Amino acid sequence: MPQSLDALWEKVRAQKTLIPSLYGDIDFDVTPERFTDDIAVRSTLPKKFASKYRAGILKDSEKVERARAYTLLGDTVADAYAALMPRYGFRGLISMLKQACDEGLHAVADAPQELTDFILAMETTPDWVDMALVREGARLSRNQMVNLAPYVIRGAFVATFMNKYSGLPMAITGTLANDSVNQRINETASFFTTATLPGALERFGPGFKAAAMVRLMHSMVRFNIIKRCTPDKGGPWDPAVYGIPIPQVDQMPAGTMPAYLTAFKAMRKGRKHFTRNERAIVELSRYQCFLLGLPEELLPAEAPDIIDTMLTYSGTLREGYDHDTCGELTRATMSVYRPKDRKLLSQLHNRVERSFSKVFFTEAFLGRKDKSKAREMGVEPHLLDYALFTVGNLFVMPRLIAYRTLQDIPVANKVADRILVRRIKELLVEYGHAEYTTDAAQYTPTTQESVA
């Protein structure tokens, strides 16, 4: 059961007293500009959904108030640990976290209580998680991670900064440079790909460690932006406009994307309930998001609730697109050359993958009929893009279908799984070693010295 609205707001306001070094100057009773419950103000909800659902969303006052609260909620345990940066330095925090993930808390000499709280929060698997389904979801997801994800990850990455209110942290952290964009794309791909390996999300698995590192990275971003990039320090981050950096609700769309796409597919077929295989995919997504610090209320289990949660998020996030933030991030992401070499085959793959991602992004996140947003963002697919998308599908779809068929055949499924696991490990080498760190020295829109 979700916590009461009063309890949720108490948790939000408690951030100020629990972590005063980070949130002491934030007024959690001020609704930031980014949040809107005004039907006359356009939200990020695509037009076809806004006309059908937004009025109903805004009429539910409790649902809207919960969305308002989550807009102001960070990650209490990871934030408290990141707030130790002035004492330990960001490398010191990273080192202790890695050791705690690899060897256990007992191995960290003089571990601060904040690290203990962080790790224990991740170790305490809630009752609503079905780990057997999580493992099955990982097995089933290996096919998509090998045969589809490499072609859509660029488009999925673009979807995370369609809005200036949620995308500004990425611009501030210096992600506009091509090398940095490629690193972030690869880190995102590496995290979700690693999670599908056998045992990866177990306590001492690489997926568990990656989730901890991602949480710390997000909290470090919050710390550095709030401490270094507010208007009184010459930076662009105004809490009255943007709220807090990377709140829980901004992490939800990327983390629950597999669950959302699965729910959307089921609902489009007229089903409100998942098949067992679909539920396994959803359960994997929910557990990954739990490890990333998201609360149960943002991770519903049923298809209608998953869709409703996403619509509520989009329907209360004010529309905001500017070419200096969103446009630069989009252009950098779509233009970056991703392969590690310049061989002819690699160049061809990069061209097909770029077009494939462009079409995937518009179809999955904007809708075929509403091209104005894609045009504004500079990612509207053209005839060549659709042609290359078709060419890519001739390679992608047969492999997806073949492996999906083999996954349900006894004996053959074990052979297919070994092949997929081997290919995932090869992909992880291609993506490179994921650091999941944020260097305060690279934060561009401020003149302040690093606090890390």
Look up the domain containing 338 and give its range: 43-72+130-192+246-401
State the Cα–Cα distance between residues 313 and 369, nearest whole angstrom: 22
Instruction: Kindly state whether residue 230 falls inside one of the protein's structural domains.
Output: no
Q: Evaluate if residue 433 carries a pLDDT over 80.
A: no
pLDDT, tens digit, for every residue of 269-313?
Answer: 999 999 999 999 999 999 999 999 999 999 999 999 999 999 999
Instruction: Kindly state whether residue 165 falls inside one of the protein's structural domains.
Output: yes
Q: Evaluate if residue 105 carries a pLDDT over 50.
A: yes
Lowest-pLDDT range of 9-13, 50-54, 98-102, 325-329: 325-329
Measured in whole angstroms, the distance separating CA 428 from the mean position of its chain's CA atoms is 18
Position 451 confidence tier, pLDDT thresholds 50, 70, 90: very low
Are 245 and 226 in contact by the 8 Å Cβ rule? The answer is: yes
Instruction: Kindly state whether residue 296 falls inside one of the protein's structural domains.
Output: yes
Instruction: Kindly state whether residue 14 falls inside one of the protein's structural domains.
Output: no
Token pair 């960070």 is found at: 74
- Using alpha carbons, list the distances in angstroms from residue 417 to 133, 219, 399, 409, 422: 17, 36, 13, 11, 8
Position 1 confidence tier, pLDDT thresholds 50, 70, 90: low
Our count of domains for the chain comes to: 1
pTM: 0.90
pLDDT, tens digit, for every residue of 120-155?
Answer: 999 999 999 999 999 999 999 999 999 999 999 998
- The residue-averaged pLDDT of 68-79 equals 97
Instruction: Kindly state whether residue 51 falls inside one of the protein's structural domains.
Output: yes
Instruction: Kindly state whether residue 417 falls inside one of the protein's structural domains.
Output: no
Residues of the chain with pLDDT > 90, as a percent, come to 74
pLDDT of residue 172: 84
381 burial (CB, 10 Å; 0-12 / 13-18 / 19+) is buried
pLDDT, tens digit, for every residue of 203-212?
Answer: 999 999 999 9
Instruction: Kindly state whether residue 90 falls inside one of the protein's structural domains.
Output: no
pLDDT of residue 39: 96
Instruction: Kindly state whether residue 268 falls inside one of the protein's structural domains.
Output: yes
